[in-house]
Amino acid sequence: MRVFSWIVATTWLFGCELSSKDTAGKNDPTDADADTDSDTDSDTDTDTDTDTDTDTDSDTDADDTGEPPPDPDGTMDFDILITSYSGAWRAGEPVETATYTDESGESMSWGHDFSLLFIDSVDYRLTGGEDPTYYCKLTYDVYMSIAYDMSEISPWPGWDDAGWDFYTSGGFRDIEGNCLDISSAMGWSDINVVNYMSWGHVLGPMDDADFKSSLEEAYSDYEDWIENAGIQWIMVTTAAGDVLYPLNYFFSYEIDEAGVVVGSEPTEGTADATELPDGLIITRNHFGLVFTTPEDPGEDTGGTTDEPE
């Protein structure tokens, strides 16, 4: 089996907001962030950076010089992998489709989707995530997933029976962006190699102290929503074996018997829940996996992992 051998760390995604590609809002399942304003960053002002002032830089003083940002370099320099997931559950069993109708009458639906977003973090940020030159996105239908044997992972970080091995080789659904350059950078024959790697995740309460602290440091409105969020642990096959990384947090939205999302507020108390909550699960990106290129792309270097930067 092909593996990732060049993962060197996890990193915050400040400056790499996913704009419309991320649908994990706190107060509305169609909003792209976890705050209470209408933009796609993680603060409570109305600009698109991650601080609380009204200029367009990423610090907290109002010193925007007005200088235009540099132009992207035209080359895909892949360095970060971001994952996301959505899917509805009831009594520990998957609900094939969840639907939601917003106040304007527009309807949305969610299956069980798992996506991998490979980005050039610098140029992705400079282009607002809109230029496909600087990303490659793969999406999979993971409704037919295989439950983990919890005895194989110790300590088990999630709720009982809330871990699944994704069937990506049979569930490939969509490809978008500059995936040819990703294949070249990773030394693969083509991007389809990713489909035959092991992927999966574990869902659990907000009980990892380091992850919780990083959220508190990152988001000014942390206290408003943290009790309603859980942790998504992503399983990645590396040269050292299968590794679980706490990359994302998630919210659950109540659904009725027909799979219809019945409100825009997340389920309360997910952080301390003792089992997987019933509802539509939508993840919110917090960490990404950082990659480095080995001297020999064909060499299995067996990457190491560090604490989040």
pLDDT class for 34, splitting at 50, 70, 90?
Answer: very low
pLDDT reported for residue 64: 57
- Report whether 110 contacts 280 (CB < 8 A): yes
* pTM of the model as a whole: 0.77
Amino acid in the structure at residue 106: E
- Residue 253 has what DSSP assignment? E
Q: Where are the alpha helices (DSSP H) in the chain?
A: 121-126, 168-171, 179-186, 209-218, 222-225
Which tokens go with 79?
């360095």
pLDDT reported for residue 105: 86
| Cα–Cα nearest to 141, from 202, 195, 204, 203 | 195
What length is written for the chain? 309
Amino acid in the structure at residue 216: E
Question: Residue 194 above 70 pLDDT?
Answer: yes
Interior angle at CA 14, CA 13 and CA 17, nearest 5 = 75
Which tokens go with 9?
């760390």
pLDDT reported for residue 178: 94
pLDDT reported for residue 69: 78
Under DSSP, is residue 75 helix (H, G, I), strand (E, B) or coil? coil
CA distance to 34, 100, 164, 256, per residue, from 263 (Å): 16, 9, 27, 10
Average pLDDT over residues 218-229: 94
Least confident of 153-162, 166-175, 270-279: 166-175
pLDDT reported for residue 271: 97
Share of the chain above pLDDT 70, in %: 72
pLDDT reported for residue 170: 83
Under DSSP, is residue 249 helix (H, G, I), strand (E, B) or coil? strand
More confident residue, 308 or 252: 252
Is 150 exposed, middle or buried, given 0-12, 13-18 or 19+ CB atoms closer than 10 A? middle
